[in-house]
Structure 1
Amino acid sequence: MEDKGAFSFSTCWNIKRHTSGSGMLQEIRDLGFRRVELNYNVTEEMLATIEPMIERGEIGISSVHNTFPHVRDPDYGTDSVLLGFEEEEKRQRAIQLLVRSAEYAQRYGGEAVVVHPGEVPFPNDISRELGQIYNGEGRDSEVYRSKWAELMERRAAYSAGYVQTITESLDEVCNQAASKGLNVRFGIETRSRPQQIPTLAEARTIIRALKGAPVGIWYDTGHAIMMDRLGLYDSVGEMEGLMDDIVGVHIHETIGLSDHWCPYVHSKDMDFYDAYLPMIERAQVKVYELKAACRPEEINASHQLLAAKLAGRGQAGC
């Protein structure tokens, strides 16, 4: 496989196939990637064989994904209130775990930490219900509009409070990181469920409130496409005012509401994903975050298409 240059690749792709960290990273190296993002399922046991590879210079670390290493407690998993906990003890635990992730990123030479900030909790799994209605009856159906109104009503009532708490938590994280001499950025990720924070408007609010802090947006392209399709925000138009704040991107395409596919290759649409090239171009850290179903030859073909399109944009701007 050709060398993928500065592009990084998430262990999301193959972590379930491996118990050995070194074997997992070697498989990614065989794809032509010299940098990886260590995702939130990487365990301390895996790090025992990953760290020697980093020390020998066999692999570079672009970023780590909070909470890192893996935390088995679902309260601090990827789909939880996290930095928005009202209970002070839980919120402080979430803060310490994020600082720990940043410490690992710095130790490994990483540039950033991917952060799931939190969500507006619902008593029911409303994102699953919306997905089922979207796939079955469509976004224009009355049943979808009714369920969407339910989501937005609760979001409108509670999101501002959670955004404020998340902002305060990130401020504490940044202060602690600075006191420890950590030089990494925190990217708040666009999420895959409509009750989750942030929307692009919420991201703008948080980033502006923390002006001067190492906090920006982690623009997950596939998740943004999903939220656009569901109706939460305009994934391209609402990026105005945020382009200078992109810390990193997760590169993957969404087919319907199914994400983590190879751009261009799986959708067979050679134009749609072009709208997200400016975000990829502006990102400090560029990470492919693909599902296990993506085959090496598909990953390579997707990267060739993406790299050629990005190169064409650069030439057009000369």
Structure 2
Amino acid sequence: MVLDKGEYSFSTCWNIKRHAVGSDMIEEIRGLGFKRVELNYNVTREMLTTIEPMIERGEIVISSVHNTFPLIDDPDYGTDSVLLGFDDEAKRKRAVDLLVQSAEYAARYGAAAVVVHPGEVPFEANIDQELKALYKEHGPDSPAYRSLWEEMLERRDSLRGHYAERIAHSLEDACGRIAAKGWDVTIGIETRSRCYQMPTLREARGIIDRLQGAKIGLWYDFGHGMMMERMGLYDNAEDMSLIMDHIAGIHIHESVGLSDHWCPYVHSGDMAYFDRFLPVIEAAPVKVYELKSACTPEEIDRSHGLLTAKLERLRTAGGRTGT
């Protein structure tokens, strides 16, 4: 029997490649027990023609939309770009316009938040891909990995202040325009999956502190956080307290090694590591599963059952997790 997932939402990233018709995609998600849905950045305007009537009839609730929304087929404004940190002023302003557009759709659908990948420290080549290959072949303590990691970190550290400034400026512009429209939508800046991308938890806190009063928070993506911890960029358990009071929403999934978007507990077989994120799940106003297509309905249901049982034990025990 499929569990009713209640307050939990589910991202269309799981099945969007299997469907050309938006309503069919949503019906498959409803079959998992989810009434709440996050519309991801691959949702097209054509898909929305069949999804919007479902929203209007109250068949689904949109928890969040993922910038850039709807789909923009331009890598400059895609999920892995400088985006809100562009030095080119015309490109930066276009990125802000697209974020405001995403917020307009969120407001129209009654969604609480827009998820955004804010930016990165640009590199000429994909150094993250090189590092992950070395990690898998030789391990994170190997001389080859450590040497390239230090090279990456030196450039990232030298430029992250500049790009954080650009990102904060863009977010200030976007939040001001959203507030002026009266849209009750929070911008969630997402922890990312590549080591040169921004923000880390500490970088997110710095940006949020700069924009006090704006409707902005961290969108904590747990699988990405796990990968960045394994690669050496930050420590989730150590830095989590910095952002606990500034969570806009979460993406729930687990990484197995450096492969992400798996079902928590089920695919790793580790019944303890993911527990560190339970207090964040409890605190998050928007809770979204963001799983890959390889996750089966049975695995999703089992994972959700394990997670919610652990959360119930956490509440009962007054903050201590059980395995």
What TM bracket, shorter-length normalisation?
A: over 0.9
Query: 2: CA distance between counterparts of 1:268 and 1:143?
Result: 30
* Cα deviation digits, residues 228-268 of structure 1 (max 9, x gap): 00000001211122100011010000000000000011111
Return the letter of the residue paired with 2:300. I
1:241 maps to: 242
Is the contact made by 2:201 and 2:242 (CA closer than 8 Å) also made in structure 1?
no
Query: 1: CA distance between counterparts of 2:242 and 2:201?
Result: 10
Return the letter of the residue paired with 1:301. R
Q: Aligned with 1:188: secondary structure? A: strand
2:74 maps to: 73
Query: 2: CA distance between counterparts of 1:212 and 1:173?
Result: 13
1:41 maps to: 42
1:113 maps to: 114
2:228 maps to: 227
Residue 162 (1) aligns with residue 183 (2): no
* TM-score relative to the length of structure 1: 0.99
Q: Aligned with 1:64: secondary structure? A: strand
Query: 2: CA distance between counterparts of 1:86 and 1:110?
Result: 31
* Cα deviation digits, residues 101-127 of structure 1 (max 9, x gap): 001011101000001000011011101
Superposition map of 1:1-318 within 5 A: 1-317=2-318
Query: 2: CA distance between counterparts of 1:288 and 1:236?
Result: 21
Query: 2: CA distance between counterparts of 1:135 and 1:203?
Result: 28
Deviation of 1:317 (Å): 2.1
Query: 2: CA distance between counterparts of 1:111 and 1:55?
Result: 16
Residue ranges of structure 1 left out of the alignment (5+ in a row):
none
Query: 1: CA distance between counterparts of 2:202 and 2:252?
Result: 21
Query: 2: CA distance between counterparts of 1:19 and 1:302?
Result: 28
Matched residues, number = 318
Query: 1: CA distance between counterparts of 2:280 and 2:132?
Result: 26
Q: Which ranges of 4 or more aligned residues in structure 1 deviate by more than 3 Å? A: none
Query: 1: CA distance between counterparts of 2:224 and 2:282?
Result: 18
Is the contact made by 2:202 and 2:242 (CA closer than 8 Å) also made in structure 1?
no
Q: Aligned with 2:52: secondary structure? A: helix
Residue ranges of structure 2 left out of the alignment (5+ in a row):
none
Query: 2: CA distance between counterparts of 1:54 and 1:35?
Result: 10
Deviation of 1:279 (Å): 1.1
Return the letter of the residue paired with 2:199. P
* Cα deviation digits, residues 6-63 of structure 1 (max 9, x gap): 0000000000000000000000000000100000000000000000000000011000
Is the contact made by 2:84 and 2:95 (CA closer than 8 Å) also made in structure 1?
yes
